[in-house]
C-alpha cells in the first residue's frame, strides 16, 4: 500500500477494530436533544475489521478499502475513518498525513459497531503513527463527535455505557469475559434511525449488570421489537440461535440485524456455527470470544 512519495522504510502499524456487542440495551427515555437515554453493557469480540497505516509527510489522508464487505463502503470524506483522521489531524494541528488500508471483515450497518470501531481504531492508529500524546478526555471528546458508540470503542473493553454514549465505566462481570461468542447476520441492513423511531417509548426499567445471571435473566434489548418489525428475518436468526446446545444467552445486538449467542464452551459454539452455516448458506457467521483485557 506504499505510495511513491513515501520512504521505502516507512513504518506500517496495525490496529483491530473490534466488533462491539450489546449484551443488554435498555432504552429509558428520549432526550430533549433528540438522542435517547440508554443503559447498555458493551463487550467486544476478539475479532473485527483491520486497519493498517503508514505516516506520510504531505498532510494527505488516503484511504483504501478492501475485504469481504469493502464494496459496501465509500472511501470519501464522509467515511468514518476519514472523518476520524481529519478530526484528529485538525485537533492536533498535525502536518503529517497517512495512508490507511481498511480491511472490512464485518457487515455494514449491522448493530455491532463496525463504523464506530473503525473510527476508534483510526484514532488509536494515528496517535501511534504520529507518535503524539493525547489525554483520554480529549480523545473521548473527539470520539463522541464522530458517533455515540465511538468513545466506548476507543478502549474496546467491557463497559457500562449510559446517556447517548458519553458516560462510560469499565465494568467487569464475573465469567463473562473470554466466553465463546457466535455472531450471525442474515445479510440485511436496518436503519438505526428507523429502529429507534419504532421504539414504543415504554421504560421497562434499569439495567442490572451485576452478574452474568442477572444479565441473562433480566437484561433485554429494547430495540429488538422494532428491528424485527423492520426486518422479520431477525426473528429467524434468534430462533436458530436459541435452540443450540450449551447456550447461555441469545439476543440481538444494537439496532440489528446482527444477533449473538454466548456459549459455555467453544465446542458448543462450533457445533451451532456448523448447523447455522449448513441451514443458511447466505448468512454471515463469525466464531469469536469476548475480549479480555
Sequential DSSP letters for 170-185? E---TTTTT-EEEEEE
Q: Is residue 20 among the annotated active site residues? A: yes
**Residue in 47, 62, 118, 149 annotated catalytic:** 149
Give me 166's grid cell.
Answer: 458519553
Q: Is the torsion defined by CA of 286, 152, 231, 29 positive or negative?
A: positive
Contact 118/67 with Cβ under 8 angstroms? Answer: no
According to DSSP, the β-strands at 97-103 and 36-56 are antiparallel
| 149 noted as active-site residue | yes
Are 46 and 288 a contacting pair, CB within 8 Å? yes
Total length of the chain: 293
Q: Are 99 and 93 in contact (CB under 8 A)?
A: no
Residues serving a catalytic function are 20, 149
Amino acid at each position: 500500500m506504499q505510495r511513491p512519495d513515501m520512504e521505502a522504510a516507512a513504518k506500517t502499524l496495525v490496529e483491530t477494530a473490534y466488533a462491539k456487542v450489546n449484551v443488554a440495551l435498555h432504552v429509558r427515555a428520549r432526550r430533549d436533544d433528540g438522542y435517547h437515554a440508554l443503559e447498555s453493557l458493551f463487550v467486544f469480540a476478539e475479532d473485527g475489521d483491520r486497519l493498517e497505516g503508514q505516516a506520510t509527510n504531505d498532510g494527505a489522508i488516503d484511504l483504501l478499502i478492501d475485504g469481504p464487505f469493502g464494496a459496501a463502503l465509500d472511501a470519501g470524506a464522509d467515511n468514518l475513518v476519514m472523518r476520524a483522521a481529519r478530526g484528529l489531524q485538525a485537533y492536533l494541528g498535525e502536518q503529517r498525513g497517512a495512508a490507511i488500508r481498511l480491511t472490512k471483515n464485518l457487515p455494514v450497518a449491522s448493530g455491532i459497531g463496525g463504523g464506530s470501531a473503525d473510527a476508534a481504531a483510526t484514532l488509536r492508529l494515528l496517535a501511534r503513527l504520529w507518535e503524539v500524546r493525547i489525554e483520554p478526555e480529549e480523545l473521548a471528546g473527539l470520539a463522541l463527535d464522530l458517533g455515540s458508540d465511538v468513545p466506548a470503542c476507543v478502549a474496546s473493553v467491557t463497559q457500562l455505557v449510559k446517556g447517548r454514549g458519553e458516560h462510560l465505566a469499565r465494568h467487569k462481570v464475573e465469567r463473562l469475559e473470554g466466553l465463546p461468542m457466535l455472531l450471525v447476520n442474515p445479510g440485511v441492513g436496518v436503519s438505526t434511525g428507523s429502529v429507534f423511531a419504532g421504539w414504543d417509548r415504554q421504560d421497562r426499567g434499569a439495567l442490572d449488570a451485576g452478574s452474568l445471571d442477572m444479565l441473562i435473566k433480566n437484561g433485554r434489548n429494547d430495540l429488538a421489537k422494532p428491528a424485527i418489525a423492520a426486518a422479520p428475518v431477525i426473528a429467524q436468526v434468534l430462533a436458530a440461535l436459541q435452540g443450540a446446545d450449551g447456550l447461555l444467552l441469545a439476543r440481538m445486538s444494537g439496532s440489528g440485524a446482527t444477533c449473538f449467542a454466548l456459549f459455555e464452551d467453544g465446542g458448543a459454539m462450533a457445533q451451532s456455527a456448523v448447523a447455522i452455516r449448513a441451514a443458511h448458506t447466505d448468512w454471515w457467521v463469525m466464531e469469536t470470544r469476548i475480549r479480555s483485557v
